[in-house]
A and B are shown apart, each in its own frame.
Chain A
Amino acid sequence: MAASFATLADVIVAEPGARLGFAGPRVIEQTTGESLPDGFQTAEFLFAHGLIDDVVQRAGLRPALGQLLQLQHPQVEAVHAGPIAREPTGPLRTGPGAGRVLCDPGTLPRKDPWSSVQLARHPDRPTTLDYASHLLDGFHELHGDRMAEDCTAVVGGPGRLNGRPVMLIGHQKGGSELSERQRRKFGMPSPGGYRKAARLMRFAAKLGLPVVTLIDTPGAHPGPDAERTGQAVAIAQNLRLMTRLPVPIVAVITGEGGSGGALALGIADRVLICLNGIYSVISPEGCAAILWKDSEAAPSAAAALRVGAEELLSLVSSTVSFRNHPMARTQTTDWPPPSWAMR
């Protein structure tokens, strides 16, 4: 039974079937008259309700804990790449040398804003977990908001980027499978998702780890449950936390940067956007509905909102081109596909 500081640990891992709780099941049943669900207070139950980070078999505890404890040595073998390489003015390079940071709007292709929106939303785009597995060594996903849930639309955890430990946090849309996208709530976080992100940011600050956020969301979840559990509060708390988090923060808009749901991971020292990403205060459909009472006017709204990477360079730090880069995802080596040719 736990009513102690043990539950305040930065990371809580449980073995399968382990039990943890405040009041025992018999006490609860006899004092409240309520019958309890199967598996109540087991490790699996606690994991599903955001109260622990992971359920690990005993044989896996040693490597899992060893990996986490290595985070206490944040500067081991970090690779210094020097200052940001500025792309010279000229046509966009899409050959093997791509994958660069672009800072000059003149180097970016002019695109129809609506095609940018469609590309940013394409289900074959890499997800945060794809980036984590490709970019990071030893990524260890942590779970839960320590209050009530483990939002599946936000993922995060520590890992090593070129040898440097970082805390990666991002929206998770779910990829090309519909069932997975549904499980991930199409990348629309609940308040618990933002609280999980805040927890991981505080953990990063405690260890002195830089934070990298990957933004890809249509927006925060708009349902009644999200309202009831404090969506606005959770987002506001993240905005406040990120303004003063005492470690570097780099935010990358990898796909769709929608509204407050994106902003809650978007306060950063450097803001990058992928070539086909978008960033906007409201969806084009929502904007069209407000301005013209017609969501069919979304393409016009997209143009008015100036959502694309080339339009945003005056606001964001720079643009990342993953075209023809190994990070362009295995199934999208010809990304964007010919059918999505830019107009």
Chain B
Amino acid sequence: MTAALDELVSLDPERLLRERSHRFHRFGLDPDPIAGRGAR
């Protein structure tokens, strides 16, 4: 858990969200239409 956090906090927020989106894309999903592009 700690190691995963260490790895993730080193990413800038934009990259973090891009990679999170990519995990959805792997399964044919796109979170942006749901969340609104750039939504926080």
Contact = CB atoms under 8 A, between A and B. Distances in A.
A248 B9 contact: yes
Given A246-B16, A270-B7, 6 more contacts: A101-B4, A161-B1, A243-B20, A250-B1, A252-B1, A270-B8
Contacts of B24: 243
11 contacts: A81-B6, A83-B6, A161-B2, A210-B8, A240-B35, A243-B20, A244-B39, A244-B40, A248-B11, A252-B1, A272-B1
A38 B7 CA distance: 51
B3 A248 contact: no
Which range holds the interface residue count of chain A? 20 to 34
Query: Which 4 residue pairs of A and B lie closest in terms of their CB atoms, listed nearest first?
Result: A248-B8, A243-B31, A270-B4, A244-B35
Interface string B1-40: 1111111110101001101110110000001001110011
B38 to A, nearest CB: 8
Interface of B: 1-9, 11, 13, 16-17, 19-21, 23-24, 31, 34-36, 39-40
A245 B20 CA distance: 10
Given A244-B39, A247-B13, A162 B20 contact: no
Contacts of A135: 1
Contact of A82 (B6, B9, B13, B40): B6
B8 A240 contact: no
Interface in A225-241: 239-240
B17 A101 contact: no
Nearest to A210: B5
B9 A164 contact: yes
Contacts of B4: 84, 101, 250, 269-270, 272, 317
B2 A81 contact: yes
Contacts of A84: 3-4, 7
A81 B6 CA distance: 7
A154 interface: no
A3 interface: no
With a 10 A CB-CB cut-off, give which of A80, A81, A244, A252 has the most chain B CB atoms. A244
A214 to B, nearest CB: 9
A244 B2 contact: no
B6 to A, nearest CB: 5
A142 interface: no
Contacts of A244: 17, 31, 35-36, 39-40
Contacts of A205: 40
A85 interface: yes
Contacts of A83: 3, 6-7
A79 B13 contact: no
A131 to B, nearest CB: 9
B16 to A, nearest CB: 6
A278 interface: no
Nearest to A80: B6
Contacts of A243: 20-21, 24, 31, 34-35
B5 A248 contact: yes
Max chain B Cβ within 10 angstroms of own Cβ: one of A135, A161, A270: A270
A320 interface: yes
A101 B9 contact: no
A52 interface: no
Nearest to B11: A248
Contacts of A267: 20
Contacts of B20: 243, 249, 267, 269
Interface string A238-276: 011001111111101000000000000001011010000
